[in-house]
Structure 1
Amino acid sequence: MKARIFWAVLGLVLLGYFGFRVMQVVEKRNQPEKKTSEVAVVRSARVVKADLRDKVSFTGTIRPRNEVDVFPKVGGRIEALPVQIGDKVKAGQLLAVVEHKEIAWQAKASEAAVQLAKANLEGARLNHDRTAALFAGGSATQAMVDQVKVGLALAQAQLAQAEAANGLAQQSLANATLFAPIAGTVIRRPVNLGTNVGPPTVVATLQDVATLKLEAAVDAVAYARLTKGALAEVVVDAFASETFPGKVTLLSPSLDSITRRAALEIEVDNESGKLLPNMFARADVVVGELKDAVAVPRAALFEAGGGAVVFRIKGGRAQMVRPVLGPADKGLVAVFSGLAEGDELAITGQAGLADGAEVKVASEARAESR
């Protein structure tokens, strides 16, 4: 009897305990979440009116305006090499000398051959004149006259041949000395003193970097808005806060059949010497200007549903708006429709918002917490 009473009491206790725990869980689930957790705090900015430039923007690579490989036209060892990589040279400045003793002696021999041919020609001319005088006095035959005429013509031909050979010899001698064909900077010098070189050997590579060019390619839409001579602003990552002036100097007359893009070149002034060939660069070509345009901060825009959207803050709620956008300039983006001057937009935290969500601007949230 006592055992039955014990087990009955124990069952009632356990039943009461589990019932109490179940009630706690139910009450916890039914408790409303704190409202403050549903309110998003954002920073905001106003829609403004501003003058904006309409630009075509693209990227490309900085190239030298002119690059030249210097080759020797004669073979031999390098016996003089007065330039180093990085040296700036003028057009016509000495770059290298190839050994040329044999060529020099050949040139002297050809000069002597010219002098000999001149002497032979002078002798043939005197013989011709003398024979002609004798023929006029009846002391020489026609055959003698014909013979001296042939001798004179032969002497003239021999002189012409000697002068041509001398010209080739002198040119070979001159080819042993290499001069800079353009003004520029030595960027490569793959040979040293004593290196054996020949016509295929590059002795030095020069680049003219006083004026550079930006090579790029644009699609058909951008191409239609560009004109030769249009002014451009070029920016490189190494000097992100500085712009370099330029202008469009080349527009390809056709699109590439594979990429469907047109090549273009922008001439960039490099008087400062800061820009280097093969730098990656961005260019903006101004093609128009918008006066008093309605504009939004670029920070207010983000991608959603395949297009740009903003969240307008009105009455403590976030309203999703898909504005029709125009050109961007100076951190602002022109808006053609969908927003008005003075509208307040979220510029931080908007990626997590939903249309109609309750929001508070950061300044208001700080005021309430005080």
Structure 2
Amino acid sequence: MKKLLAGLLVLAAFGWLLWEIYHRASAPTGGPRRGGAGPVAFEVVPIRKAVIRDVRRLTGSVLARSQFQVAPKIAGRLEKLMVDIGDEVHNRQLIAQLDSDEYVQQVAQAEAELEMAKANVVQASSNLELARKKLARYRALYEKKVASQSEIEVVEAEYKVQEAAHKVAEARVLQNKAALEAAKVQEAYTKISASWENGEGRRVVGERFVDEGAMLKANEPIVSIIDIASVTAVIYVIERDYGKIRIGQEARVTTDALPGESFRSRVVRVAPLLKEASRQARVELEIPNPKGSLKPGMFVRVEIEFIRLEDVTVVPAGSVVKRNDTDGVFIVDTENMKVRFVPVKLGLEEEDMVQVLEPNLSGSVVTMGQHLLEDGRSIKLPGTESEDASPRQDAQQTPPAGRGVSSGGRQ
């Protein structure tokens, strides 16, 4: 009986010990405690007036303002290429030459055929004149009743034949002139130039697709020409921001390829639709690029400012905490050396700062350790000798930003 009682006592003691260990292990160690809790380190920052913006930072790619490919209109062997990648070209500059021997021969043949046609016109004119004189003579004889009616009809038919032959010869001349012009155009097509409308500024060869000696088909590209005096940045905005984008809106552009440099740009085109798959819309920005620093294909970061507010109350975003599902901050009460939880209505947020719409705050807010504080908790500010030091010396000024210690209880 005694052994059974002793065993029960040992078992009860062991169970109590396990319960105590579990209780201590599961008890919160970082939450605020009442009474004799240890000191809590915290940090305060003055509430201030500042500029705050509603900004979107997006990424995109650079495109040339314009880009086109230069290609021959006829087939042939590329005899000479006058430009290469990176070369500047001006409007209507000759950049390539095709083998023109065949086309020169075609021009010579067309010229010879034209001369032959002109000679045929001379012969036809002579025959027509003879037929006209013969007809006039027979008409005179017919009036004198020397020639018969049938003879007159035969001569008139001969005249009409010669008249038609003369017209055919003249038409052949026009036809051969057109053939000669066509041959000359074909020969001119062997000289390939880069030409564009709207401006005489220089552009740059972006790509080369073939080498000298290559056999080219009609419309097979030789080089691409790009205009980078100004470039286009293409970004995509989500549905939430689409309504905030406006034509003419300014933006700042940066790129990792040019650290420390930024470029001003403006919105020039906004797509009238969003892609159904991504719910994003294409936006194009024009960037002046007089030095040619930005190149097509570069990755860029675009910062667009939607709203800019001056002289508004801001606090560090990290100072905002929730108590009972209400946003608020802990204000330092320097007169009573306590912290006070103040519910706030928030506005814009930019980086690590957030706008406070209501109420009108002043003083300092707790930015570190505030999650461990309670409304009315006593604190010790940096530079004070003890918790019992007179707070009235500090009541006349806003406490400086710095670290402090909470005494760990309400008073």
**Matches of 1:37 and 1:286 in 2, distance apart?**
46
For the residue of structure 1 that corresponds to 2:243, the secondary structure is helix
CA distance in 2, matches of 1:83, 1:53: 49
The residue identity in structure 2 corresponding to 1:324 is: L
| Correspondence 1:11-22 to 2 at 5 A | none
State the partner residue of 2:76: 76
User: Deviations for 1:150-169, whole angstroms, at most 9, x for unmatched residues?
Assistant: 22332233233323322332
**Amino acid in the other structure paired with 1:92:** R
Partner amino acid for 2:246? T
Residues 364 and 228 of structure 1, relative CA distance in 2, 3 Å threshold: closer
Structure 2 partner of 1:314? 332
Deviation of 1:122 after TM superposition, in Å, equals 4.7
User: Structure 1 residue 145: deviation in Å?
Assistant: 3.1
Choose from 334, 353, 357 the match for 1:336: 357
1:71–1:200 Cα contact (<8 Å) kept: yes
In structure 2, what is the Cα distance between the partners aligned to 1:204 and 1:318?
71
Q: Flag structure 2 segments of 5+ consecutive residues without an equivalent.
A: 1-20, 25-35, 140-151, 197-201, 383-400, 406-411
Asked if 1 retains the 8 angstrom alpha-carbon contact of 2:232 and 2:287, the reply is yes
Larger radius of gyration between Structure 1 and Structure 2 = 2
2:11 counterpart residue number: none
Aligned sequence identity (%): 26
After the TM superposition, which residues 218-367 of structure 1 pair with which residues of structure 2 at under 5 Å, given as runs? 218-296=237-315, 300=318, 312=330, 314=332, 324-326=346-348, 328=350, 333-337=354-358, 340-344=361-365, 346=367, 354=372, 356=374, 363-364=402-403
Deviations along 1:290-336, one digit per CA (max 9) or x if unpaired, are 232223457x48999xx9x896563676969786231638x755443
Contact 1:317 1:359 in 2 (8 A): no
How far apart, in 2, do the equivalents of 1:191 and 1:180 lie? 16
Q: CA deviation at 1:45?
A: 3.9
Equivalent-residue separation in structure 1 for 2:69 and 2:291 (angstroms): 25
- The aligned counterpart of 1:99 is 99
TM-score (norm 1): 0.72
| Kept after mapping to 1: 8 A contact 2:253/2:302 | yes
**In the alignment, which residue of structure 1 is the partner of 2:6?**
none
> What one-letter code is carried by the residue in structure 1 that aligns with 2:234?
E
Q: In structure 2, how many angstroms separate the alpha carbons of the residues matched to 1:282 and 1:167?
A: 55
Decide whether the 8 Å contact of 1:228 with 1:248 is kept in 2.
yes
Hey, what does 2:175 align to over in structure 1? 161
Distance 2:306 2:100 in 1: 59
- The one-letter amino acid paired with 1:68 is F
* One-letter amino acid of the structure 1 residue matched with residue 212 of structure 2: L
> Which letter does structure 1 place at the counterpart of 2:275?
D
User: Hey, which of these two has a bigger chunk of helix by percent?
Assistant: 1
1:80 deviates by 1.3
Change (3 A) 1:241 1:160: same
> CA contact under 8 A between 2:77 and 2:213: conserved in structure 1?
yes
Higher mean C-alpha deviation, range 155-164 or range 337-346: 337-346
Q: Determine if contact 2:74/2:219 at 8 Å carries over to the other structure.
A: no
CA positional deviation for 1:199:
2.7
Q: Is the 1:98–1:176 Cα contact (8 Å) retained in structure 2?
A: yes
What residue identity is the alignment partner of 2:61? T
Write the deviation string for residues 273-306 of structure 1: whole angstroms up to 9, x where unpaired.
Answer: 11111112222344443232223457x48999xx
The answer to whether the Cα contact below 8 Å between 1:47 and 1:295 also exists between their aligned partners in 2 is yes
Matched, 1:191 2:213: no
Q: CA deviation at 1:175?
A: 1.8
Cα pair distance change 1:364/1:196, threshold 3 Å: same
> Once the two structures are superposed, what CA deviation does each residue of 1:199-246 show, in whole Å capped at 9, x if it has no partner?
364311111111111112222332212222333322222334333122
SS across alignment from 1:227: coil
Counterpart position of 1:151: 165
Paired residues, number: 330
- Is contact 2:331-2:342 (8 Å) kept? no
**Counterparts in 2 of 1:296 and 1:98: CA distance versus 1, 3 Å:** farther
Amino acid at match of 1:205: S
